[in-house]
Homo-oligomer: A and B are copies of this chain.
C-alpha cells in the first residue's frame, strides 16, 4: 500500500472517529491533500469508509496473527494481542464507533476475527486461567471497549502513550481491586 494512502487513511480514521459527519472537504484538509487527490485515492465517501473498515480489520487480523492466540498461556496471549493492537488502535477506535458493522448483517471479515478472539478467551477459561462467570462474548467486547477507551485517553493526552498496553492489559486481566496476596 502506498504511503500516501496509508497516511490519508490514518488521518481520516482520526477525524471520523471524533466527528462522524465530517465532510470530504474536512477529511481532505485533515489529511493535507486536495479534494481531487482524496477522490483519486478513494472513488467516493462510501469507498473511503469501506477502505477504513477493511484496513482496520486487516491490521487487526495481522495483530491477531502475530499474537499467536493459540500458543502458550492465554493471559499472555491476550497481553500480546493488546500490545500488537496498540499501533492500530486509531483504526480500531473507528471500527468500534462504526457500530454499523454489526447492523448490516455483520461484516464477514470482522466476524471471523471476533470468533478468534472469543476462542482465545474460551481457551483461557477451559485452561482455568479466566473466570467462568464472564462469557467469552463479554470479555471480547470488554477488550474492544478498553482498547478504544485507551486510544481515546491517549489521544486526548489523559494517559501516556507508552502506558497504553500495560494499562489496558492490567485492567482487563487483573481488574481494579488490590489483590490480597500481593
Distance of A146 Cα from B164 Cα, bound (Å): 16
A21 touches B18 (CB 8 A): no
Q: How many copies does the complex hold?
A: 4
Residue of B129, B133, B149, B158 near A145 (CB, 8 A) is B149
A175 touches B174 (CB 8 A): yes
Distance of A148 Cα from B102 Cα, bound (Å): 15
Q: Which residue of B lies closest to A179 (CB)?
A: B179
Residue of B18, B128, B139 near A100 (CB, 8 A) is B18
Query: What residues of B have a CB within 8 angstroms of the CB of A153 in the complex?
Result: 137-138, 141
Indicate whether A180 reaches chain B with its CB closer than 8 angstroms: yes
Instruction: Say whether, besides A134-B167, A149-B144, A159-B135, A19 and B174 are in contact (CB < 8 Å).
Output: no
Residue of B19, B171, B174, B181 near A99 (CB, 8 A) is B19
Which of A19, A128, A138 has most B Cβ within 10 Å?
A138
Q: Which residue of B lies closest to A164 (CB)?
A: B138
Indicate whether A40 reaches chain B with its CB closer than 8 angstroms: no
Instruction: Say whether, besides A144-B149, A148-B145, A176 and B139 are in contact (CB < 8 Å).
Output: yes
Q: Which residue of B lies closest to A163 (CB)?
A: B138
A89-144 interface (Cβ within 8 A of B): 97, 99-100, 102-103, 121, 124, 128-131, 133-135, 137-139, 141-142, 144
Indicate whether A56 reaches chain B with its CB closer than 8 angstroms: no
Closest 3 CB pairs of A and B: A175-B175, A145-B149, A20-B20
- Given A131-B178, A146-B149; 18 other pairs, CB 8 A cutoff: A18-B99, A18-B100, A75-B177, A129-B178, A131-B170, A134-B171, A138-B150, A138-B159, A138-B163, A141-B150, A141-B158, A142-B149, A142-B167, A145-B149, A145-B152, A171-B175, A172-B176, A179-B179
